[in-house]
Amino acid sequence: MAHPFLFALSMAVSAFLSTPAAADETRDWTLTVETGPVWLSRNDVQIPNDSSGDRFDLLKLTGQGADPYLRVHLAYQLSDKHSVSLLYAPLRTYGHGELPDDVRFAGETFEAGSSVKGVYKFNTYRLGWRYHWPEHGDWKLSAGATLLVRDANVRLSQGTTSADDPDLGVVPLLSFQARRTLAQRWALEFDVEGLGAPQGRAIDAAVAVTYQLSRQLEGRLGYRTLEGGADNDSVYTFAWAHYGLLGLSYRF
């Protein structure tokens, strides 16, 4: 369901990027591919979020990991001060286990003491814009806003009984990045996107050491964390994921 929306976004971005540029504008693409292990320290679920549903720990079924992950980020520098970007960040874990108690979930009951398969999906597609301040000494700072399309689902299966609760939504986020040059080729980078409200929150933050391998290629090593969820009349879902970050950025 997210693909038509993403197609519309990509068409709008393409039209915007095709606008003729002033002669003094810097126009650069940067493709970043990030991978490594991901594990979860929390994944609490209750659907529906009322007396007809039971809260349970999904990690009892899926385990904590670690599992491999992949994120792809494409950024375009419109000028010295403005850039836009697209990010594809899928996250999916699954496994089998036993629930300590009977669980009522999405209209079905799953019994304790018998194997249950659990699937957790939280894929995001993001369109971002950032304003870049002029460099100040060894520092580079930028801030902006992101439109996140969330394609999430929790699914339980036991024998012939199965239930899930797919969720497709759009969430606005704020973003900030700080980068400090440490040496001729080395830098330290902090990047965060997030926003919170009484009904839920989303925080995606990373810290990484980067090394300039060549004029166009940069490697990075660090840690990322993704935390958040929703607490409303229909769902209660909160998860906390941790990533061992290994990436390459190619500028062209």
Distance, CA of 222 to CA of 227 (rounded, Å): 17
pLDDT score, position 27:
53
**For residues 70-107, b (16+ Cβ closer than 10 Å) or e, as one string?**
ebebebbbbeeeebbbbbebebebebebebeeebbbbe
Q: What whole-number distance in Å separates Cα of residue 148 and Cα of residue 6?
A: 10
Confidence of residue 9 (pLDDT cuts 50, 70, 90): very low
> Is pLDDT above 90 for 86?
yes
CA distances from 31 to 85, 100, 224, 244, 249 (A): 10, 45, 18, 19, 6
- Report which DSSP code applies to 94: E
Cα–Cα distance between 180 and 171 in angstroms, integer?
30
Nearest CA among 63, 65, 76 for reference residue 38: 65
* 2-17+25-251 CATH, one of 3.40.50.1370, 1.10.357.20, 3.40.50.720, 2.40.128.90: 2.40.128.90
pLDDT for residue 16 = 43
